[in-house]
A and B are shown apart, each in its own frame.
Chain A
Amino acid sequence: MTDAQLWQALKKGDKSALERMYKEHAEALLSYGYRFAKNEQVAEDCVQELFVDLWNKREKLGNNDHIAKYLFVALRRRIIREIEQQRKRSISDEPQEYHFQAEMAIDEILANAELSAEQAAKLRHSLESLSKRQREVIYLKYYTDLDYEGISEVMGVSYQSARNLVSTALKALRKHLLIPLLWLIVNFF
């Protein structure tokens, strides 16, 4: 069943279509949502409300042939709105709980890369200096099935800047990570 057909089924009131969408996307949506809020409950509530709303508004929905994109856009909006409201109610000075937390697992990367201490330090530095937008784009690119078009829509940036954010990050990664590899190849010839 294509996305467009599944969406039609939902609009006609087919509850199993809703369940199918949930089963297909909930895990990716939730792990994405967890990265926005320190409090996991926020992400879980937002995912729940998202699907309940989808059902309640099903008759008013337009056509859709890219369900993942729709769900990610809707979830991101929902979470950011919720966090913004919490921030207004909050009494804390520190801007916590509302930035995208997708830290690169630097130690794991370094352990697999067999780098010298100096190279490792450089790589660590370049990974740590990734902006949070870059992290979010990279996350969406490598941990979800969204393409660049979908990512740009989810994040509300242009197609080109979504691409650029990833390219810059990958170039930095390549520069530090792949040195030993290239050196090996040069030696080989």
Chain B
Amino acid sequence: MKDKYTTYQAEDFAQDDSFIRWVKGQDARATAFWDAWQKAHPERSAELEAGRRLVEAIRMKGRQPTEATLSGIWDKIDAQTAKEAPVVQMRRRKSLRWISYAAAACVAALMFFWLYNPSTIVRSNAAGQELVQLPDNSSVQLNADSELRYQAGSWEENRLVELEGEAFFEVQKGSRFTVQTPLGIVEVLGTSFNVYARGAAFEVHCLTGKVRVQAESGKEVFLTPGQFTRLDADQELLPASSADGERRASWRSGQFYFDNGKVKDVFEEIQRQYGVTIAADESILAKSGSYFFNTSDPIDTTLYKICWPMNLKAQKSGGVYRIVAE
């Protein structure tokens, strides 16, 4: 029989499965064959050597699974294939029902302890801001009187935080990052953005990257840098429109801008930032306009700056600032 290998070029050798096994030294039969072949065909030794070098040259980067990973996955497979579904047994014999209930309860209890993963809760008090460093170095700056919850234990699988209040996020690039609020969710991959979720208000500003916002109704809006969306009176998300996100997020340095905002919101924010109580008539609170305050000013100065353009003033009595006509 004619030996096909005598006409082989280096790249033909390098594609031959038995030759490859010889080069890799994984297969005794291949090793025996090629060692013998090499001796019998000295005239082909240059091509053979070239083929060997080609196989050896093919190296690829990439990671290998560790032993621990491999056995970990097997354990899960093993657990999931351990028993027949109890449904089958129930049909056959009613008396087994109790056992399957008990089994289900055991499984549920086990799952609970297994999955139970205490939340990390960060709360900022009135008159205080908190800077939260998440496990992947994403950072969250919590405005006053806000709460952030997340699970550090499962952070790598699920970058999810729950927020009530207002926070500014700087998210490290990576998998999906989700902010859940009572009225809607915000999803990003890596970006910075501001979320305001207080009472019936839900407002999201995108500063960099791309953000997906979803309201409870399921409606979603995509934001690019410089855009914002909020819930309207019917709790529906407005289409993305442009807004100065830097300005909106400037609360981080103590500056609060209200463009065409309600006086009620302004006083609420002052209460939060200074930890004071403010009382005013509904007629005053219903007004709207553009306001600004800076927490580097003392409370009296801030109230004065807000009040005097509206011909109002603040009177302090019994720990309460009462807003009255001047």
Question: Which A residues lie at the B interface, using CB under 8 A?
Answer: 15, 18-19, 22-23, 26-27, 30-31, 34-35, 39-41, 44, 47-48, 51-52, 55-56, 90-93, 101-105, 108-109, 112-113, 135, 138-139, 141-143, 147, 163, 166-167, 170-171, 173-174, 177-178, 181-182, 185
- Asked if B63 lies at the interface with its beta carbon under 8 angstroms from chain A, I say yes
Confirm or deny: B69 has a beta carbon within 8 angstroms of a beta carbon on chain A: yes
Interface residue count on the B side (C-beta < 8 Å) = 41
B58 CB–A CB distance under 8 Å? yes
Q: Does chain A have a CB within 8 A of B257? A: no
Across-interface contacts of A181 in B (CB, < 8 A): 49-50, 53
In the complex, A113 Cα to B59 Cα: how many Å? 12
Q: Please, how many angstroms separate the alpha-carbon atoms of A30 and B70 in the complex?
A: 9
Apart from the given pairs A103-B61, A182-B50, 13 other A-B contacts in the complex at a CB distance below 8 Å: A22-B74, A27-B70, A41-B157, A44-B69, A47-B73, A55-B77, A91-B210, A103-B60, A108-B59, A113-B57, A138-B60, A142-B20, A177-B53
Q: In whole angstroms, what is the CA distance A135 to B62 when docked?
A: 12
Q: Does B258 interact with chain A (Cβ within 8 Å)?
A: no
Residues in B with CB closer than 8 Å to A19 are 74, 78
Given contacts A30-B69, A112-B57, contact A167 B15 (CB under 8 A): yes
| Chain B residues within an 8 Å CB radius of A185 | 46
- From the candidates B15, B56, B62, B175, name the one contacting A141 in the complex (CB within 8 A): B15
For the complex, is B127 an interface residue (Cβ under 8 Å from A)? no
Pairwise interchain contact A104-B11, C-beta atoms closer than 8 A? no
Output the nearest chain A residue to B56 by Cβ-Cβ distance: A112
Query: Known: A56-B81, A91-B188. Contact between A167 and B11, CB under 8 A?
Result: yes
Partner of A104 from the list B61, B176, B222 (CB cut-off 8 Å) is B61
* CB contact between B210 and one of A93, A142, A170 (< 8 Å): that residue: A93
B73 contacts A26, C-beta separation under 8 Å: yes
The answer to whether A174 touches B10, judged by C-beta atoms less than 8 angstroms apart, is yes
Closest to A39 in B: B175
A91 and B62: CB pair below 8 A? no
Residue numbers in B under 8 Å from A138 (CB-CB): 58, 60
A102–B11 contact, CB under 8 A? no
Contact A31 B65 (CB under 8 A): yes
Given A91-B222, A147-B17, A26–B70 Cβ distance below 8 Å?
yes
B76, A48: Cβ atoms closer than 8 Å:
yes
Are A105 and B63 interface neighbours, CB within 8 A? no
Q: Is the CB of B53 within 8 A of A104?
A: no
CB neighbours (8 Å) of B11 from chain A are 167, 170-171, 174
Say whether A102 contacts B15, CB under 8 Å.
Answer: no
Contact A174 B65 (CB under 8 A): no
Residues B60 and A104 in contact, CB atoms below 8 Å apart? yes
* A91-B212, A92-B189, A147-B17 known; A105-B59 Cβ under 8 A: yes
Bound-state Cα–Cα, A177 to B80, Å: 49
Contact B62 A170 (CB under 8 A): no
With a cutoff of 8 Å between Cβ atoms, the chain A residues found around residue B211 in the complex are 91
Contacts of B70 in A (CB 8 A): 26-27, 30
Q: Is the CB of B10 within 8 A of A178?
A: yes
B76, B81, B157 — most chain A CB neighbours (10 Å): B81
Residues of B within 8 A of A22 (CB): 74, 77
CB pair B50 A143 closer than 8 Å: no
Point out the residue from B14, B46, B49, B62 that lies within 8 Å of A101, measured CB to CB: B62
